[in-house]
A and B are shown apart, each in its own frame.
Chain A
């Protein structure tokens, strides 16, 4: 229990401390230390859950079970490795004069603030608080998107603010409707938004209200997941914000929003007694997957390109959870981990590549492998991993997902494979010259810390070759929670 509280308290304290003391030489290091501490406590928390089962805080406000604890761990890990990356990266940005001290203070404070909101969203048992935390994540990151204060970044920030704000407001309406349905059934009004309580009474909730609520919730949180056609803010925010932000937005925020939708699906589907939420998710997922794969081809900005790849993968996961069934869900859960790890590794590399070339434009990033082999290879391997090549973990999860689709929706496999091929072609078409092309004059290697990339890719490789027993049992427990039946 203490580990759980600490996991939340450490980033909270750090947010305040960074906001008060401002920027100084060792802020990056302190940021890193804080992330290490958060990671350790979340690891303790995970071990605790693994040994003793779900944890519930005395006031029932926080609840950690097999499903969210592994996401907490992934969150803390990606937060930590991104902090390793962000220290030299942001130091470089300060050196070239893109940001000043005041903005670095904002950056560090909001970095921790964002991690805090993500952790609150994952640990809370209260569906209202979940909404507050997801909205809080928007508020924490919105000024970071416009950190560079160029007209483009301000445009991206404004779009992000308005679109996500409007989108997430729909989710609040959905939450109000769920509360409305629950309040009629449950005795204690204060408990009517607690997930653990609602889950027990799911069968008594009014189906018509819940159907309506789910539509609003899917649209609302779907905006955050980046589902097409609600995805417009995502490529802009990712491409214009500082790169560590892109890494944690892609690696964490999208996952957490999807987590919220899946939690609601777990609640609402049994209450309805039909598969409507699943169908809706499948439709949105398939659309996002296809459209993002095609739009990948037409990008000129390297970060925009990879943000479309994020949309594509989020679509795939939404589809997986929509299909339901133990195998698809297991694949979806695994895909959440491997996508988080791979995508944040890619954004880290992309950040360094952009520093080497001095631009984010795909046309002008050339010959990385000759200028700085480490970055070139990381980008190549990262892209290979995200495109779903064996032996990386993304292959495993996509394979599981496709087998599940084959079983229940055989016709869907054809567009899925096609979409995968299209996305693969788009990625490699742009990647090839960037990595192997002729480097332009005056490209100089930068000081890069590729430890996070190495760590993430090794983990993804490990998950591809053999999923450790602990993790597979864990994911299986989560699968049982989501669909009621495990794979193993």
Chain B
């Protein structure tokens, strides 16, 4: 069955999935901190739209609650807080040079292929759209991990971390119409607390090592030297 034969709503969800993956690549490549935060907010916005769409088509109305939690947390609160911290710590104008950008992008592409490959065995049991969205969300998670590995600035790592959470959320929403409510609430609470803790850590890093560059974190070793 080809993509065009799917119902319109599913096609829309697939398009949104593609866009979410696209923003995740944008995050990987973006080197200005403020733009990074904005891109992250856009990713959250896409998730919000996707969740609302799923809620409408599937008739599971508890998804609206998840959708609005995403809107509040990932589109409004976290970007707002990150932006405020960036202004407060006066690193707005800092540009992070990403080492070997083309190589990283190729790595990201490889991760997408890998995700599709991993998801391949569950082909038999599930529908085309679901399979695609699982692969995409796994790719978003892995690209988020890649971002954490390759970035040196703490703020960028946090955004990588949060975009990983976005991938997980997208998996939960698109593959299974959302987790049970108590779990959704718990996860949202964890994300909220994590966001606040990250903010506290920025200040600790600044006062402890004098910068938000995690390259300066090199005092602890696996073995003594």
Contacts and interface: CB of A to CB of B under 8 A. Distances in A.
Looking at chain B's contact residues, the main secondary structure is: helix
B207 A162 contact: no
B219 A151 contact: yes
11 contacts: A129-B182, A135-B190, A139-B193, A154-B209, A157-B201, A162-B148, A169-B168, A172-B187, A179-B172, A206-B125, A299-B224
Given A157-B201, A173-B171, A149 B207 contact: yes
B100 to A, nearest CB: 21
A152 B219 contact: yes
B223 A299 contact: yes
A159 interface: yes
Contacts of B204: 146, 149, 154, 157
Interface residues of B, number: 50
B168 A132 contact: no
A176 B190 contact: no
B90 interface: no
Interface stretch (A82-90, A232-240, A315-323, A400-408): A232-240
Identify the 10 closest CB pairs spanning chains A and B, nearest first: A128-B183, A132-B186, A298-B223, A154-B208, A155-B217, A208-B121, A300-B224, A151-B208, A236-B220, A180-B175
A274 B141 CA distance: 29
A166 B164 CA distance: 8
A179 B190 CA distance: 20
A176 B186 contact: no
Contacts of A172: 168, 187
Interface string B165-192: 1001001100111011111001101100
Nearest to B180: A190
Given A149-B207, A154-B205, A157-B201, A173 B138 contact: yes
Contacts of A150: 208
Interface of B: 60, 118, 121-122, 124-125, 134, 138, 141, 145, 148, 154, 157, 161, 164-165, 168, 171-172, 175-177, 179-183, 186-187, 189-190, 193-194, 197-198, 200-201, 204-205, 207-209, 214, 217-220, 222-224
Contact of A129 (B125, B171, B186, B194): B186
A156 B209 CA distance: 12
Given A146-B204, A176-B171, A208-B121, A151 B197 contact: no
Given A126-B180, A135-B190, A179-B179, A173 B168 contact: yes
Interface of A: 61, 126, 128-129, 131-133, 135-136, 139, 142-143, 146, 149-152, 154-159, 161-162, 165-166, 169-170, 172-173, 176, 179-180, 183-184, 189-190, 192-193, 206, 208-209, 211-212, 232, 235-236, 239-240, 295, 298-300
